[in-house]
Chain A
């Protein structure tokens, strides 16, 4: 998930509701209809939409890079078990879906996205779900992914200086401790700015 980038393209101007619905429809079609030609067509269409939105190529790659290893493993397994067409199908539909999801967050202000999700999830209230809390959780996820990346890079650099670049424990323990400490401060900051979970989303 990447924070939005400003723009005036038709995709930026489109309200978030239709974009989320289109994403759900495309995802359902991609997985309900396992056809290579359909997956490649959606992938091509997605590429055109990125061009329409004026999003630079490095940001397109950034959408796929975090899951590249998982994608590679899935494709290799499919290649070994069912042949190249199955491998290509898995790759095409997963990449198309990741890019489409990325396109929604890149072209929608997070506050608009959250408001749309809160409205869309309102029917879950009688079941005990709280759309406002879901909205805040998504906003915090969008906000703190880059912060987590920066903390991880800092800790990795510090451990490299101590010759511990290959130790997973030396990387993960300080990152988790810092994130837990930060989560206390973030909770206090949300309180300090008068957030009321009982009123949010009204």
Chain B
């Protein structure tokens, strides 16, 4: 469970999140809001990439401020632009990067790398330069790299924003097929319609917290 208590965050003088208190327990949680509403900052607080200016974020009792490394093992993160998330030049090397960081033995790294490549149809591209992949393949590689590390929760920050319709669907299907819990920041409301819970952000606050059938129409009305 992720527990958020009186969390606020500011960049310099500018407050981007204001006094949030909530628990995140559902299997699929969507985060929506306008540009600059604070949703990406909120996402980065969940695995300790950012620590809150005040308040606490706890993942299964681990405080992101004190136990950042342990939290990041439990909570994976997929960024909006996969080009910024792929660290090593070749597909298989990049996939193995996180596994090496976990200190796993070589045969276990090879097994998990192979499994993740196979799962997302990237096995034939294992020795391919990552920069030559299509946008959808890059996002799948980014997801595979996180998934291979076996986190309990995966946070996605606008994973389909830069993709065409076909690749949006591929990524949406990949997220749907995950056994892990997922927290997804997105503007793609159709994709979020079957989620368990929707958080709507505005000006650093959660203004709607409900099931999609109620939250999404209210968000659309709010934005128009």
Contact = CB atoms under 8 A, between A and B. Distances in A.
Interface of A: 3-6, 109-111, 139-140, 142-143, 146-147, 150, 182, 185-186, 188-196, 199-200, 202
Contact of A194 (B72, B81, B93): B72
Contact of B129 (A3, A196, A199): A3
Interface string B56-94: 000000000000010011001101010111111110010
Contacts of B145: 193
A81 to B, nearest CB: 40
Contact of B87 (A3, A6, A190): A190
Contacts, number: 89
Contacts of A189: 77, 79, 84-85, 87
A111 B87 contact: no
Given A193-B101, A194-B69, A194-B149, A110 B49 contact: no
22 contacts: A4-B89, A4-B127, A109-B90, A111-B90, A139-B88, A143-B87, A143-B88, A146-B131, A147-B131, A150-B131, A185-B81, A186-B84, A188-B49, A189-B79, A189-B85, A193-B72, A193-B146, A194-B73, A194-B101, A194-B102, A199-B101, A199-B103
Contacts of A192: 47, 49, 72, 76-77, 79, 85, 146
A202 B103 contact: yes
Nearest to A139: B88
Given A109-B90, A189-B87, A194-B69, 9 more contacts: A6-B128, A143-B87, A146-B131, A182-B83, A182-B84, A189-B79, A193-B145, A194-B102, A195-B101
